[in-house]
Amino acid sequence: MKYTCGKSRYDSSAQEWKYEPRVYTDFYCSLKEWHSLGRGKMNYIKQLVTHASLSEDETEDDFYSYLYDSRERQRIISNAINLITHRRPKVTNYWEDETLSKDYLVEKNDHIEIEFPELKMPNIIILYDKWEETPGDGFFETVKDCIDCVYKVLELKTLDYYDNYLYQFFNNDYDYVFFKGDKDSCYYNYWNGKWSWKDVIKRKDERIYNEYKSLLYKVNKIKLKLV
C-alpha cells in the first residue's frame, strides 16, 4: 500500500501532539500489511470504499444512495476486494431494505457470497441475518468483514497443512463459511463458534435457499478425502 501523512507532530501553540491520518494513494495490501493496520483499519476501509464506489463527478450523497441497492453494494464490495488484492471476485449480497414505518427504514443483510471462479480459492460465505443499524458505518463494517475473511482464507495457503490437506478444498466446488451475526441471527444456534474444517467447509452444490433468502446446507459435514 502507498500513503501520505500518517505521522504525529507536536503543535507548540496548542502544546499537544496531533496526528495526521494516512491518506492512501494505492490500496494493494499484503497479508502482513493488513494485520499491521491495527486501529487505523477503519480509516483505510472508509477511503477504500469511497474510492471503490464513486467516480470523480459523484458526491457523498451518491454513495449513500448506493446502499439501498443490492447490485450497487455488490459492485462496491467487488471493486474494494479488487483494489486490495488485484483479484476481482463475483459478489452476491443477499440484502434488502424494509420500511417499518413511514419514518423508519432498516436494512437487513442476510449473507454475502464471494466467489473467485478463476483462482484456487473456495467460495467465501459470510452469514449475518442482521440489520445494518447505521447507514454508511454499517456498510463499512460489512466491507471490512469481507476483506478480513478473504485474507483469513489466503493465510491458510501459507500453512504446511494447506499443502498436505487443505489444497483439495481450494476450488469453486467448496464453500468456506464465516458467521458474523449476533444472537438474534437465524444462523446463531448452528454456526456460532464453529471453526474446524469439517464444520465450516461445505460443498457448493449442497446449498439450499429458503423463502427468506437464508442459506442452509443439505448435510452437516462434508465427506473429507483423507491424505
pLDDT tens sequence across 63-88: 777 777 889 999 999 999 999 999 99
Cross-strand bridge partners of residue 23: 4
Angle at which helix 137-156 crosses helix 70-85, to 10 degrees, equals 50
Beta partners for residue 108, in sequence order: 96, 131
| Confidence at residue 119, expressed as pLDDT on a 0 to 100 scale | 93
Please tell me the distance from the alpha carbon of residue 27 to that of residue 161, in angstroms, as a whole number.
30
Higher pLDDT, 163 or 218: 163
Cα(44)–Cα(143) distance, integer angstroms: 11
- pTM summary value: 0.86
pLDDT digits (tens, 9 = 90+) for 13-70: 776 767 778 899 999 999 999 999 988 899 999 999 999 987 767 777 777 777 778 8
As a whole number, mean pLDDT of residues 167-182 equals 96
In this predicted structure, the answer to whether residue 136 has a pLDDT above a threshold of 80 is no
pLDDT value at position 226?
44
What does the pLDDT read at residue 155?
95
In this prediction, residue 227 carries a pLDDT of 42
